[in-house]
Structure 1
Amino acid sequence: MSLQQPEFGERLKALRAERGLSQQQLAGGGMSPGYLSRLESGARPPTAKAVEYLATQLGVSTAEFRGLRSDSLAQALAIASSTEDADRALRILEEALATGAPSEDYALQWQAMRVMSGFQQDIGDREAQLRTLGQLVDLADSIGRPELQVYSHVSRARCQRALGQMEHAHESAVQAVATANAHSLPPRDTAGALMVLISTETAVGNLIEAREHAAELDELAQGLGQVQQTEALWTAAHVHLRLGDQAGAAQRLGTALGLLDSRVSPLLWLRLRLAAASLHLQMSPRNLDVAEKCLVEAHPAVELVGSAVHQQEFTLLSAQMAFYRGRLDEAGRRCAELAETTPLLAYQDELALKMLRSQLRVLGGERKEGTRELQTLAEEAQARGSIDLSKEIWRALAETLAQL
């Protein structure tokens, strides 16, 4: 592994501090304190000669500079958690974990992998995130704490759902709920597991089970805080929409939108409006006015607190809104904007984007090609277990052909 800045400088400074040495003392007679200071700050790359000299002065091997040692995993975690550079944070954590932390320190490894999975999600590397979450589940089982086991299974289920692996996501969610119930975990933990279970049941078409669990979630959420009650209403609204109860879905969404104060959780407030816009666009007939109102409210929040993922979700919803309003040129421009960015959308949103592009092809004169694409997308969703999404694609195909 090559020696890179600023990691080398950070490691050098930590080793010097551990020994209580000043920069002048460490520099000795073989290096100027000014040069040492630039090495520690990351302003200068280390030469092989400098590394050998400093290793001798510190009484360590040069390997100590090639990554954080196993006993400094906590330090790596602290550095990674304090930086906004996701690539750098991932590199620090990967190097620290690769050195092999002590086997008895499973909890610290679990925390490092939990943080690492979050950064992997931020940069859109969901395949890597899924591998990390698999390790997270294994570590939680080794530790034996049900709280960690439930969190790990829930996180893996969400990642699998985002990748379109609905059946696997459902299995992970079932395991999370079973563990929470078996150990009588607090309602907050159980509610989180129930939410992801309900979403996967809805996706794979198990609507009766989803409705029963939604009722259970509603009762459980009554004793929880504003955030959990909002999430429970959001989850229940989706179930009622799939059951054909559009009035019930709209009522729950309206309650959720009014319940959460943006100052309590700005990010959830934003996500809720994006979700509400999406659900209102899926209603039959589509509730365009309410969906557009949600997007108008969400727009400033996307700029202030939204991540790159939220920005892409907002652009997709705006493209869909333009399409349903008959502004096909605008819809096409929005799709082109997304094509120029690194794809970060979850599987369902990515499929929705492909669906919209195919609809535009049909209406743009490429009826045969666009129709074939929509049929392929519907079959793909069906094969992946996304029954709900497959139905939506067939509906889009029928509506688009009807416009011709």
Structure 2
Amino acid sequence: MAESSPEGARLDDPAEIGRRVLRLRTERGLTQRQLAEPAYTPAYVSTLESGRVRPSEAALRHLAGRLGVGYEELATGRPARLGTELRLRLTDARRALATGAPEDAAAVFRALHEEAAAHELVPEQAAALQGLGDCLLESGDLGEARDCFAAVERLLADEPLPRRVPAIRGRATAHLLTGELRYACYLLETALDELNASGLHDPDALLLLYTASIAPYMDMGAHARAAHAAELALALAPRVSDPALVAHMHRGVARTLIAEGRTAEADASLAKAQELYQHLHIRTELAHCHWMRGYVHAQDGDLASAERELRTARDMLASKRAALFTEQVEVELADVLRRRGRPSEAEALLRPLLGADTGTGGESGAYEDHGDREAEGEGTGGRGNPRDGGPLGAERGAVHAGGAHRLLGLIAEERGDTETAEEHYCAALSLLERSSAAGDLADLCRLLGDLFRRTGRVEAALDAYRTGLGHRAAPGTTTLGPAPATPPL
């Protein structure tokens, strides 16, 4: 570890170098004359040890030889080969994240960051923080994850933009998982425009950004823009050598194919991603492939296969203690269970995700005032939850929290409890309006309108239908600016 130094002092400051020379000389029992001769004088060594002069490279090399240490260690205080050893340990930590629990890997990344920071190794600091941010995304600590990625961007502020793209993508993903879809799109599109405008057409960086933009585009209902991003990603893939990036691209492209009804092609794309992830032993991403294949089967009406794939995904993610992703899969699994005629199982799965007191009575909320009810508080009010990550809600998995309330509303309505159904629909509406998930909002407005119509509230039903049509009319165009420029491929 680094020797202690005054607050804010750099390891290559003259005072720091002087202290190191003095310490090493004393440890070796040398006098200033013995250290200085034959090239320098004892007075020069004394001046250097007091920090009043910055030694030249030649002087440092002479002193390092006399003291029996490497030049870099004397000049910077870093042990020989420290940077190489840290990079090897960072690779091991990445492997631990791929195959094990995120909090275990996070502890390693934190320790590596502290060590790199102590020795002022900026690239290794950034790599450790990037890894820590990825761990926190998996465990659902989204605020801390955003802070990590922002710190990486600050550390690499003077580096070319492609070096900062993984951190930008991480920060955008954290905002996406929180439910801030528009801001996620803004971050990704701004980086794409800057890359293209500056001529930095780095294939890896572009592929990472285009692939990351597919999910927020799809959730916002901007399907045409998502499809265009998928086309560009496919065109970039042959120029990318990192198999993990290519696998992630195939998984993202599959989502646009599903939306277009091309389920066979989507399944083939997922199979390619799955094969790559198996080869790379990346369990979280492999679980995501099972998750999406479950969604493909559900879209095709093969609910038995959908349930099997989603349970596999959930078990894999739960074994890794990837809390947020596990909860999101459970929402989709509950949807399949309800459609298979097992509403009690679905309800038992959903309630712990939103908090212990979800949907238990209270006054029925009218559509006109749902925005003032703080309906999402049903799922986020600090109540107990058996999962380490806490309940889904406005600040954590907002889109899936809305989906969970929607499902609980459907289950309540199917058993004739319209009051509870309305509470859940309004809670879902509040969550999804904050996140601008256009397609889900339109569907929810239809459900709410149908409920109002069946209970005799015609004006409220008409308002709900009009709002739903507004979300459906031009999905995504009211919140997104011009599409990023297309790179020369």
Normalised to the residue count of structure 2, the TM-score between the two structures is: 0.56
Q: Which residue of 1 aligns with 2:291?
A: 274
- Amino acid of the structure 2 residue aligned with 1:156: R
Q: Which residue of 1 aligns with 2:172?
A: 157
* Residues 391 and 137 (structure 1), Cα distance of their counterparts in 2 relative to 1, 3 Å cut: farther
Structure 2 residue 408 is matched with structure 1 residue 368: no
* Residues 389 and 139 (structure 1), Cα distance of their counterparts in 2 relative to 1, 3 Å cut: farther
Work out which of the residue numbers 153, 160, 171 in structure 2 matches 1:145. Answer: 160
**8 Å CA contact retained: 1:234, 1:252:** no
Q: Which residue of 2 aligns with 1:43?
A: none
Work out which of the residue numbers 214, 220, 231 in structure 1 matches 2:248. Answer: 231
- C-alpha distance in structure 2 between counterparts of 1:256 and 1:172, whole Å: 27
**8 Å CA contact retained: 1:150, 1:179:** no
Higher RCO (CA-CA < 8 Å; seq separation 6+): 2
Greater shift in the superposed pair: 82-91 or 362-371: 82-91
Structure 2 residue 307 is matched with structure 1 residue 292: yes
- Amino acid of the structure 2 residue aligned with 1:213: A
SS at match of 1:341: coil
Q: Which residue of 2 aligns with 1:197?
A: 213
SS at match of 2:230: helix
Structure 2 residue 323 is matched with structure 1 residue 319: no
- Amino acid of the structure 2 residue aligned with 1:264: H
**8 Å CA contact retained: 1:93, 1:112:** yes
Q: Which residue of 2 aligns with 1:341?
A: 387
SS at match of 2:279: coil
- C-alpha distance in structure 1 between counterparts of 2:252 and 2:133, whole Å: 24
Aligned length: 328
- Amino acid of the structure 1 residue aligned with 2:271: G
- C-alpha distance in structure 2 between counterparts of 1:312 and 1:188, whole Å: 31
**8 Å CA contact retained: 1:378, 1:391:** no
Work out which of the residue numbers 431, 435, 452 in structure 2 matches 1:384. Answer: 435
* Residues 364 and 78 (structure 1), Cα distance of their counterparts in 2 relative to 1, 3 Å cut: farther
SS at match of 2:388: coil
Q: CA deviation at 1:252?
A: 2.5
- Amino acid of the structure 2 residue aligned with 1:340: P
Q: CA deviation at 1:191?
A: 1.1
* Residues 112 and 297 (structure 1), Cα distance of their counterparts in 2 relative to 1, 3 Å cut: closer
Q: Which residue of 2 aligns with 1:206?
A: 222
* Residues 270 and 358 (structure 1), Cα distance of their counterparts in 2 relative to 1, 3 Å cut: same
Q: Which residue of 2 aligns with 1:251?
A: 264
Residue deviations 1:303-336, cap 9 Å, x none? 7667444443443333222111110111122224
Normalized per residue, which structure has more helix? 1
Q: CA deviation at 1:236?
A: 2.9
- Amino acid of the structure 2 residue aligned with 1:235: G
Residue deviations 1:225-275, cap 9 Å, x none? 665554334323323444xx21x2x12322123323263145233211202
* Residues 387 and 258 (structure 1), Cα distance of their counterparts in 2 relative to 1, 3 Å cut: same
- C-alpha distance in structure 1 between counterparts of 2:297 and 2:450, whole Å: 17
Which has the higher Rg, Structure 1 or Structure 2?
A: 2
**8 Å CA contact retained: 1:154, 1:176:** no
- Amino acid of the structure 1 residue aligned with 2:400: D
Work out which of the residue numbers 351, 359, 362 in structure 1 matches 2:410. Answer: 359
Q: CA deviation at 1:155?
A: 1.2
Structure 2 unmatched runs, 5+? 1-22, 25-76, 97-102, 354-384, 456-489
- Amino acid of the structure 2 residue aligned with 1:292: E
Q: Which residue of 2 aligns with 1:118?
A: 134
- C-alpha distance in structure 2 between counterparts of 1:121 and 1:329, whole Å: 31
The percent of aligned pairs where both chains have the same amino acid is 14
- C-alpha distance in structure 1 between counterparts of 2:113 and 2:279, whole Å: 34
- C-alpha distance in structure 2 between counterparts of 1:349 and 1:258, whole Å: 25
- C-alpha distance in structure 2 between counterparts of 1:376 and 1:333, whole Å: 18
**8 Å CA contact retained: 2:267, 2:296:** no
Greater shift in the superposed pair: 161-170 or 362-371: 362-371
SS at match of 2:179: coil
Residue deviations 1:327-351, cap 9 Å, x none? 0111122224544213366332233
Q: Which residue of 2 aligns with 1:85?
A: 104
Q: CA deviation at 1:302?
A: 4.8
Q: Which residue of 1 aligns with 2:359?
A: none
Greater shift in the superposed pair: 167-176 or 85-94: 85-94
**8 Å CA contact retained: 1:151, 1:176:** no
* Mapping 1:172-183, distance limit 5 Å: 172-181=187-196, 182-183=198-199
**8 Å CA contact retained: 2:418, 2:451:** no
Work out which of the residue numbers 278, 281, 287 in structure 2 matches 1:263. Answer: 278
SS at match of 1:202: helix
Greater shift in the superposed pair: 107-116 or 386-395: 386-395
SS at match of 2:271: helix
Residue deviations 1:343-368, cap 9 Å, x none? 36633223322332333333344312
**8 Å CA contact retained: 1:371, 1:397:** yes
SS at match of 1:263: helix
**8 Å CA contact retained: 2:146, 2:174:** yes
**8 Å CA contact retained: 1:204, 1:386:** yes
Q: Which residue of 2 aligns with 1:167?
A: 182
- Amino acid of the structure 1 residue aligned with 2:147: R
* Residues 180 and 396 (structure 1), Cα distance of their counterparts in 2 relative to 1, 3 Å cut: farther
- C-alpha distance in structure 1 between counterparts of 2:191 and 2:447, whole Å: 34
